[in-house]
Amino acid sequence: MPYLGLLLDSRWSFEDHLERQTAKMSAATLALAGTMRNLAGPSYRCRRLYATALESIALYGSPVWAGATAKNRKIQRKIAAAQKIIAIGTICGYRIIGADAVMLMACRPPIPAAAAARSSVYRETKERPTGEENVIRESRKAM
Protein backbone atom coordinates (compact mmCIF):
# COMPACT_ATOMS: atom_id res chain seq x y z
CA MET A 1 0.00 0.00 0.00
CA PRO A 2 1.58 3.32 -1.00
CA TYR A 3 1.59 6.00 1.69
CA LEU A 4 3.41 9.35 1.33
CA GLY A 5 5.69 7.91 -1.32
CA LEU A 6 6.64 4.82 0.71
CA LEU A 7 5.46 1.35 -0.23
CA LEU A 8 4.24 -0.30 2.96
CA ASP A 9 3.59 -4.00 3.40
CA SER A 10 2.17 -6.01 6.28
CA ARG A 11 5.62 -6.98 7.59
CA TRP A 12 7.14 -3.45 7.49
CA SER A 13 10.13 -4.88 5.61
CA PHE A 14 10.27 -2.04 3.02
CA GLU A 15 11.77 -4.51 0.53
CA ASP A 16 9.32 -3.56 -2.23
CA HIS A 17 9.84 0.14 -1.57
CA LEU A 18 13.63 -0.11 -1.72
CA GLU A 19 13.55 -2.24 -4.86
CA ARG A 20 11.36 0.39 -6.51
CA GLN A 21 13.63 3.20 -5.32
CA THR A 22 16.81 1.50 -6.57
CA ALA A 23 15.12 0.90 -9.93
CA LYS A 24 14.21 4.61 -10.08
CA MET A 25 17.75 5.58 -9.10
CA SER A 26 19.26 3.28 -11.75
CA ALA A 27 16.94 4.63 -14.46
CA ALA A 28 17.80 8.23 -13.57
CA THR A 29 21.50 7.34 -13.53
CA LEU A 30 21.33 5.84 -17.01
CA ALA A 31 19.40 8.87 -18.26
CA LEU A 32 22.14 11.18 -16.99
CA ALA A 33 24.96 8.93 -18.22
CA GLY A 34 24.54 10.21 -21.76
CA THR A 35 25.29 13.77 -20.64
CA MET A 36 28.33 12.80 -18.56
CA ARG A 37 31.03 11.69 -20.96
CA ASN A 38 34.30 10.57 -19.40
CA LEU A 39 36.44 12.84 -21.59
CA ALA A 40 35.62 16.55 -21.81
CA GLY A 41 32.40 16.06 -19.85
CA PRO A 42 31.07 17.99 -16.85
CA SER A 43 33.39 19.01 -14.02
CA TYR A 44 33.79 17.00 -10.82
CA ARG A 45 31.60 19.47 -8.93
CA CYS A 46 28.79 18.99 -11.43
CA ARG A 47 29.15 15.21 -11.29
CA ARG A 48 29.08 15.31 -7.49
CA LEU A 49 25.88 17.38 -7.66
CA TYR A 50 24.30 14.76 -9.93
CA ALA A 51 25.39 12.00 -7.53
CA THR A 52 23.86 13.77 -4.54
CA ALA A 53 20.59 14.30 -6.41
CA LEU A 54 20.46 10.66 -7.48
CA GLU A 55 21.22 9.36 -3.99
CA SER A 56 18.47 11.53 -2.54
CA ILE A 57 16.01 9.44 -4.56
CA ALA A 58 17.10 6.36 -2.63
CA LEU A 59 17.28 8.16 0.72
CA TYR A 60 13.67 9.36 0.61
CA GLY A 61 11.96 8.25 3.83
CA SER A 62 15.21 6.86 5.24
CA PRO A 63 14.39 7.56 8.92
CA VAL A 64 11.52 5.09 8.52
CA TRP A 65 13.26 2.25 6.65
CA ALA A 66 16.84 2.53 7.93
CA GLY A 67 16.42 -0.21 10.53
CA ALA A 68 14.94 -2.64 8.01
CA THR A 69 17.94 -2.46 5.66
CA ALA A 70 20.45 -3.29 8.38
CA LYS A 71 19.28 -6.92 8.37
CA ASN A 72 18.41 -7.47 4.70
CA ARG A 73 21.53 -8.38 2.66
CA LYS A 74 19.60 -8.65 -0.60
CA ILE A 75 18.49 -5.03 -0.42
CA GLN A 76 21.97 -3.90 0.65
CA ARG A 77 23.47 -5.55 -2.45
CA LYS A 78 20.94 -3.90 -4.77
CA ILE A 79 21.50 -0.48 -3.23
CA ALA A 80 25.29 -0.94 -3.41
CA ALA A 81 25.12 -1.92 -7.09
CA ALA A 82 23.04 1.14 -7.98
CA GLN A 83 25.28 3.40 -5.92
CA LYS A 84 28.41 1.97 -7.55
CA ILE A 85 27.13 3.06 -10.97
CA ILE A 86 26.62 6.58 -9.63
CA ALA A 87 30.09 6.67 -8.06
CA ILE A 88 31.72 5.45 -11.29
CA GLY A 89 30.07 8.32 -13.14
CA THR A 90 31.26 10.75 -10.47
CA ILE A 91 34.94 9.85 -10.83
CA CYS A 92 34.93 9.21 -14.61
CA GLY A 93 35.84 5.61 -13.89
CA TYR A 94 35.10 2.31 -15.56
CA ARG A 95 33.06 -0.62 -14.34
CA ILE A 96 36.09 -2.80 -13.55
CA ILE A 97 36.84 -0.72 -10.45
CA GLY A 98 35.75 -2.46 -7.24
CA ALA A 99 32.73 -1.15 -5.36
CA ASP A 100 34.61 -0.20 -2.18
CA ALA A 101 37.39 1.52 -4.12
CA VAL A 102 35.03 3.54 -6.29
CA MET A 103 33.02 4.63 -3.24
CA LEU A 104 36.20 5.84 -1.53
CA MET A 105 37.39 7.71 -4.61
CA ALA A 106 33.99 9.38 -5.04
CA CYS A 107 33.87 10.28 -1.31
CA ARG A 108 30.37 8.80 -1.01
CA PRO A 109 29.16 7.03 2.15
CA PRO A 110 27.16 3.85 1.60
CA ILE A 111 23.44 4.57 1.38
CA PRO A 112 22.53 2.28 4.34
CA ALA A 113 25.06 4.16 6.51
CA ALA A 114 23.70 7.53 5.37
CA ALA A 115 20.17 6.30 6.07
CA ALA A 116 21.17 5.21 9.58
CA ALA A 117 22.76 8.62 10.20
CA ARG A 118 19.63 10.42 9.01
CA SER A 119 17.51 8.17 11.19
CA SER A 120 19.54 8.95 14.31
CA VAL A 121 19.43 12.70 13.58
CA TYR A 122 15.66 12.45 13.13
CA ARG A 123 15.27 10.59 16.44
CA GLU A 124 17.43 13.14 18.29
CA THR A 125 15.53 16.12 16.92
CA LYS A 126 12.20 14.45 17.63
CA GLU A 127 13.16 13.81 21.26
CA ARG A 128 14.50 17.33 21.77
CA PRO A 129 12.03 19.59 23.58
CA THR A 130 10.70 22.48 21.54
CA GLY A 131 8.76 25.64 22.17
CA GLU A 132 6.77 25.63 25.40
CA GLU A 133 8.34 22.42 26.74
CA ASN A 134 11.81 23.94 26.41
CA VAL A 135 10.76 27.11 28.27
CA ILE A 136 9.27 25.05 31.10
CA ARG A 137 12.45 22.94 31.44
CA GLU A 138 14.69 26.01 31.42
CA SER A 139 12.56 27.71 34.07
CA ARG A 140 12.66 24.58 36.25
CA LYS A 141 16.46 24.48 35.97
CA ALA A 142 16.66 28.12 37.02
CA MET A 143 14.59 27.45 40.18
- What residue segments make up the domains of the chain, in order of their start? 7-142
d(CA 128, CA 135): 12
d(CA 73, CA 79): 10
Distance between start and end Cα atoms, the chain: 51
d(CA 132, CA 138): 10
- Long-range contacts of the stretch 44-48 (C-beta < 8 A, 24+): 44/90, 47/89, 47/90, 47/91, 47/92, 48/90, 48/106
pTM: 0.71
Q: What is the mean pLDDT of the chain?
A: 78
Using pLDDT thresholds of 50, 70 and 90, give the confidence band for residue 135: low
Q: Angle, to 10 degrees, between the axis of helix 15-33 and the axis of helix 62-69?
A: 110
- Report pLDDT digits (tens) over 8-58: 666 666 777 777 888 888 888 888 777 777 667 778 888 888 888 888 888
* Residue with more model confidence, 133 or 88: 88
